[in-house]
Structure 1
Amino acid sequence: MTRTASCSCGRLRVGCEGEPQRVSLCHCLACQKRTGSTYGIAAFFREQDVVTHGRSSLYVRQADSGFRVTFHFCPDCGSTVFWKPERLPDLTAVAAGAFADPTFPKPANAVHLESRHSWVGDL
């Protein structure tokens, strides 16, 4: 199975072969700022199962773990589509929402619960 994630304008795409190694929900403040939502959801695929198409701009930041994360976003529409976490060099993280697939696997874990908005999950 191949899934395709893309930015809002469709110029930056990522093809992912097979199932994600894991899907995680992150409540950290950096993910909240990056997504404009109360959390981010990352699908981690083996690097060799990911093929990118189109141009991307980069943003590098240090994670709470001390490792760097390199985000790839569309230079035209600004959507973050995928990122490379230095602490997981064999994996590529893809924004789960960029697949625009309501049948996509749900997260198996959540991290940075200390930053979770109190109302998340109440709706």
Structure 2
Amino acid sequence: MTTRTASCGCGQLRIKVNGAPLAVGVCHCFACQQRTGSVFAALAAFAPPYAVSGKAQEYLRTGDQGARFRFRFCPVCGSNLFHTEESVADNSVAVAVGCFSDPSFPPPRDSIYDCRRHTWVTLPAGVTIHARDPA
């Protein structure tokens, strides 16, 4: 089974996940743009179990449709490493793809909140487009 480790910029906070991602996507919602400081967030969801090491600061955000997301970031360098959705029964975790530092990581299969995608952002062929959150 494949094991991957993602870490914050300073290496203090890490998450170790197992297996292939359940999903890989990009989100263009304004909250993700503000949270990442970029024009979208690239995320990969993984099934439990996963192991976190280091100290994390948390930020709880309520999404447009009422879902509650608990974001974890490094209190030292500020990197946003992973988040969970409180109402998801499978207890999966979404990890920021860039924190794996792996240019060969699988490409996104979904584009969420595409209605807010910057016009100059081009997506890979075959990506499923969702105008808003499909949940």
Q: Into which bin does the TM-score normalised by the smaller protein fall?
A: over 0.9
**Can you list the C-alpha shifts for 1:19-62, whole angstroms capped at 9, x where unaligned?**
110111100000000111100011000122x1111000000010
Percent of pairs with identical residues: 45
Q: Which runs of 4+ in 1 moved over 4 A?
A: none
Number of the residue aligned with 1:7: 8
Number of the residue aligned with 2:126: none
| Secondary structure, aligned partner of 1:97 | helix
Unaligned runs of at least 5 residues, structure 2: 124-135
Number of the residue aligned with 1:35: 36
Number of the residue aligned with 1:72: 72
| Secondary structure, aligned partner of 1:55 | coil
| Secondary structure, aligned partner of 2:103 | coil
| Secondary structure, aligned partner of 2:99 | helix
Shift of 1:87: 3.5
Q: Give the TM-score normalised by the residue count of structure 2.
A: 0.86
Structure with the bigger RCO (C-alpha within 8 Å, sep 6+) is 1
Number of the residue aligned with 2:17: 16
Name the structure with the higher strand share.
1
**Where do 1:1-123 residues align within 5 Å?**
1-48=2-49, 50-89=50-89, 90-121=91-122
Q: For residues 85 and 105 of structure 1, what CA distance do their matches in structure 2 show?
A: 22
Unaligned runs of at least 5 residues, structure 1: none
Report the AA paired with residue 18 of structure 1. G
Q: For residues 27 and 87 of structure 2, what CA distance do their matches in structure 1 show?
A: 16
Shift of 1:118: 0.6
